């Protein structure tokens, strides 16, 4: 997790405070934009699907 925080700090200017990030996870207060930046840093893509359409198949 520290490597991720360092990468986010280097790429996006995020604070690299481990305790601050841990508290956001613990308190479930991460913003979607932060989740998006984390996914982008890890080279993941977030895809939102309409589950109503999936259940009709």
Three-class HEC string of 4-46:
HHHHHHHHHCCCCCHHHHHHHHHHCCCCHHHHHHHHHHCCCCC
What distance in Å separates the CA atoms of residue 14 and residue 7, rounded to the nearest whole number? Answer: 9
The residue ranges of every structural domain in the chain are 2-55
If DSSP codes are grouped into helix, strand and coil, which group holds residue 54?
helix
Q: How confident is the model at residue 57 (pLDDT cuts 50, 70, 90)?
A: low
8-43: pLDDT as tens digits? 999 889 887 889 999 999 999 999 999 999 999 999
Higher pLDDT, 49 or 57: 49
pLDDT at residue 15, rounded to an integer: 87
Q: How many CB atoms lie within 10 A of CB 12?
A: 13
The reported pLDDT for the residue numbered 5 is: 92
């Amino acid at each position: 997790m520290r490597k991720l925080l360092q990468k986010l700090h280097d790429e996006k200017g995020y604070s690299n405070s481990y305790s601050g990030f841990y508290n956001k996870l613990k308190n479930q207060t991460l913003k979607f934009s932060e989740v998006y930046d984390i996914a982008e840093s890890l080279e993941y893509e977030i895809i939102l699907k309409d589950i109503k359409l999936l259940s009709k198949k």
